A and B are shown apart, each in its own frame.
Chain A
């Protein structure tokens, strides 16, 4: 079931308490910062800062390792492959026929890996610490149409359910002697027709019933709806927002207005 699980973990940390809008804005700022930075040292400082945030998020150990395994593997892949395709600069370290590896290439590979690590982790932190409901509510408050927000919330909500359905379908087909592990990749891909067919039918049926259930509870009777719990910015939210903005704007000015290499 782990494949489709909601990554959010209930906890009471300052990251959980932040207004979802502020959190989204901060994540965006940190992402932009990671994108404009190119010096390895600064990227590593940023990565360390983000990893500290990850620790502070107190997400479940299982979910954290599950997500970070992907991130770390991807970082390693970039660090290894980048120098092979970016041979500019000197000194040349290795020259093997068409393969040229230079020292600056290696540094740039490490920097790119760190950048991707920052980007992926910071978005994971957002998902780890914000319930789907709060994410959607934040987006709606920021101007997303309410019905789109509801559609998004429902999609997120049904993701794990859909995963369970997929597991049941796979079990049902295995019970009729189907072996998903056998054959080459094309044969195997074709076998998934036996899973996707029932999955799509059952998803459509669920969607149909859900639409009826929403309508029978008067969904669509009013264009705008009220909320039981309004989002309200607290002083700490403003502090966090200003800090996040500064974390992007100050380095951006340093880099582009004063040509400081960061």
Chain B
């Protein structure tokens, strides 16, 4: 998406000093403010219990802020039902087993569009498209429960995609997937993104963040510790450590090489590192 247009149009997600406490008394969000523009690609990272899932559940109204505001597409979530918000925001739960209940994959994928009252034809078209995007068209007739974790997760994502949301929120979608499956999933997210989807990804895998995301929101103890582009976010090891995070290995390597005077700039992906090395050698010759 064109950056200047993105900057002009109102943010699709906007939190204004949102606070939230669970019934037991834990204050899980302590004043969170952020804006996400249409088509942006945002990672939410942070240690266990830092409030990532709580934040994500505010994005489709499953949780409503106890104070402050959450606006999705300009509408305040506290006065909008989850069913209405679900048309804008698709939420993929961490555990696919919490949503699969139909006897076939295709039925499962049509469940969302059916709830939203798309006509039968649209329903089929949306379901087919979602199955194809996730590369599971061949599993159509199978029972979701009997599939492998990787495939179950794909079905779960397809079943959310089929509701044609404008924002996709994924809570740790790569946990338990092998590296090929993860890479495939990230590639699919890339495709969605090129079609203008706004993506919010919660993950503990900093390599995926470095490779595939543009912006990193780091949560710590219910607050946003910092919110930056990938390179800047990983640039300060001490700051990361305070938030219980480690930079991806490539970034650490690049930082060490920089310290040795072998590199002039940092890097977050293998490709960047190689480019830097090639450039430095070119300058030396």
Contacts and interface: CB of A to CB of B under 8 A. Distances in A.
Interface of A: 1-2, 165, 168-169, 171-179, 193-195, 197-198, 201-202, 205
Contact of B112 (A1, A176, A195): A176
Contacts of B115: 176-179
Contact of A168 (B60, B98, B160): B98
A175 B98 contact: no
Given A1-B23, A2-B23, A201-B145, A178 B83 contact: yes
A177 B163 contact: yes
Contacts of B95: 168
B97 A175 contact: no
Contacts of B100: 197-198, 201
A201 B97 contact: yes
Interface of B: 23-24, 57, 60, 62, 81-83, 86-87, 90-91, 93, 95, 97-102, 111-112, 115-116, 145, 159-160, 163
Given A175-B91, A176-B163, A198 B86 contact: no
Given A193-B101, A198-B98, A176 B160 contact: yes
Given A168-B93, A194-B111, A175 B101 contact: no
A172 B53 CA distance: 13
A175 B62 contact: yes
Contacts of B159: 176
- The 4 A-B pairs at the shortest CB distance, nearest first, are namely A197-B101, A177-B115, A176-B112, A172-B99
B122 to A, nearest CB: 14
Contact of B101 (A2, A165, A194): A194
Given A168-B93, A179-B81, A173 B99 contact: yes
11 contacts: A2-B23, A168-B93, A171-B62, A175-B82, A176-B163, A177-B116, A178-B115, A195-B101, A201-B100, A202-B97, A205-B97
A42 to B, nearest CB: 41
Nearest to A172: B99
A176 B97 contact: no
Contacts of A177: 83, 86-87, 112, 115-116, 163
A179 B83 contact: yes
A1 B22 CA distance: 10
B93 A171 contact: yes
A87 B115 CA distance: 51
A174 B23 contact: no
Contacts of B101: 193-195, 197-198
A169 B102 CA distance: 14
Contacts of A172: 91, 93, 98-99
B111 A176 contact: yes
